Amino acid sequence: MKDTRAAEAVIEAKGLDLVFQTGDGPVQALKDVNLAIGQGEFVSFIGPSGCGKTTLLRVIAALETPSAGRMTVNGMTPDEARRARAYGYVFQAAGLYPWRTIGGNVRLPLEIMGYPKSEQAERVKRVLELVDLAGFEKKFPWQLSGGMQQRASIARALAFDADILLMDEPFGALDEIVRDRLNEELLALWERTGKTIAFVTHSIPEAVYLSTRIVVMSPRPGRITDVIESPLPKERPLEIRDTPEFIEIAHRVREGLRAGHGYD
Ligand SMILES: Nc1ncnc2c1ncn2[C@@H]1O[C@H](COP(=O)(O)OP(=O)(O)OP(=O)(O)O)[C@@H](O)[C@H]1O
């Protein structure tokens, strides 16, 4: 599939293959993945379990090494990009350290990276405000709801102000109402900051609501089967999900999932 964004791509995969050697033989987690993500895009990856969504995100983050092909992040290798602090990573579970306060958790990457103390404090304050957690700095994770903990983990990923945010099913474990709210907040944050976001989800409505582009993947071998552009405006109240345009894109995503081996 030809991609016109290649020229200004911040994340670019070319002919990417990744094979895991397991006790049961080789597993082709990614096969011939070609994709270019442009500056400021919000790209979701959707597909059934085992289609390689997490593996692809992990390749971007230098946590997995491809068997063939090439991944570049800001024109660098993923490992160079990691060292250049090109991205923040948000996992499915909030993964906060229970013995550290919310502020202490958000500050951790800044401590590791050796930011001066005064700048640490200033950044922690700013990102907690950004995710609407001002005033919760001294609380411990167990004193916060699941949704608030996930917001704290987003704040932690934002703390060093990377241009790229990698998010692996960050809201998968939350109930629908909390998830709706965090979806709205994430969109507002994306609009305010202009970051490039790569987002893994199992949810069709979530993918359609959030994304400028939806990448549909299929398993065995893990590959991209469809890429759907969203014509929805940047400004998206939750009610947009009832519009014919939204329903039409959701339908196309569902069809894409079906064509690539059934989702339901
Ligand atoms: N470290 C590993 N060793 C061996 N096989 C692995 C490893 N990591 C992933 N796999 C396999 O690679 C394939 C893709 O896995 P991946 O976790 O990327 O899929 P996914 O689309 O994110 O799935 P899910 O939606 O369940 O999280 C699966 O078959 C998985 O079992």
SS (H, E, C) 74-112: CCECHHHHHHCCCEEEECCCCCCCCCCCHHHHHHHHHHH
Which range has the worst mean pLDDT, 63-72, 123-132, 133-142? Answer: 123-132
- 172 CB under 6 A from ligand 1? no
In this prediction, residue 3 carries a pLDDT of: 52
**Of 107, 135, 161, which marks where a domain is finished?**
161
Q: Report residue 264's pLDDT band, with 50, 70 and 90 as the boundaries.
A: very low
> CA 47, CA 220: separation in Å to the nearest integer?
12
How many Å lie between the centroid of ligand 1 and the Cα of residue 27?
9
How many Å lie between the centroid of ligand 1 and the Cα of residue 29?
6
Instruction: Compute φ and ψ for 116, nearest 5 degrees.
Output: -60, 150
- 27 CB under 6 A from ligand 1? yes
Q: Under a CB-based contact definition with an 8 Å cutoff, are residues 108 and 166 in contact?
A: no
Number of folded domains that form the chain:
2
Range of the domain at 54: 4-86+164-259
In this prediction, residue 77 carries a pLDDT of: 95
In this prediction, residue 91 carries a pLDDT of: 81
4 pLDDT more than 70:
no
- 221 CB under 6 A from ligand 1? no
On whether both 175 and 48 belong to a single domain, the answer is yes
Q: Which atom from ligand 1 is nearest to the alpha carbon of 51?
A: 21
User: Which tens digits make up the pLDDT trace of 140-191?
Assistant: 999 999 889 988 998 898 888 889 999 999 888 778 888 888 899 889 889 9
Q: Which residue has its alpha carbon closest to ligand 1 atom 30?
A: 50
- 22 CB under 6 A from ligand 1? yes
Q: Which atom from ligand 1 is nearest to the alpha carbon of 64?
A: 1
Q: Which residues contact 116 (CB under 8 A, 6 or more apart)?
A: none
Which of 17, 51, 64 most suits a substitution to test ligand 1, by most atoms within 8 Å of the C-beta? 51
User: Which tens digits make up the pLDDT trace of 12-60?
Assistant: 999 999 999 999 899 999 999 999 999 999 999 999 999 999 999 999 9
Task: Copy the structure tokens of residue 78.
Answer: 């993923």
Q: Report residue 5's pLDDT band, with 50, 70 and 90 as the boundaries.
A: low
On whether both 177 and 74 belong to a single domain, the answer is yes
Instruction: Compute φ and ψ for 25, nearest 5 degrees.
Output: 105, 180
In this prediction, residue 235 carries a pLDDT of: 87
How many Å lie between the centroid of ligand 1 and the Cα of residue 50?
5
User: What mean pLDDT value characterizes the chain?
Assistant: 90
> CA 100, CA 107: separation in Å to the nearest integer?
10
Size of the chain in residues: 264
* DSSP letter for each residue of 142-208: GGS-HHHHHHHHHHHHHTT--SEEEEESTTTTS-HHHHHHHHHHHHHHHHHH--EEEEEES-HHHHH
263 pLDDT more than 50:
no
How many Å lie between the centroid of ligand 1 and the Cα of residue 104?
32
Secondary-structure breakdown of the chain: helix, strand, coil percentages, each rounded to the nearest 5: 40, 25, 35
The answer to whether the complex's ipTM is over 0.90 is: yes
On whether both 242 and 113 belong to a single domain, the answer is no
On whether both 138 and 239 belong to a single domain, the answer is no
218 pLDDT more than 70:
yes
In this prediction, residue 78 carries a pLDDT of: 96
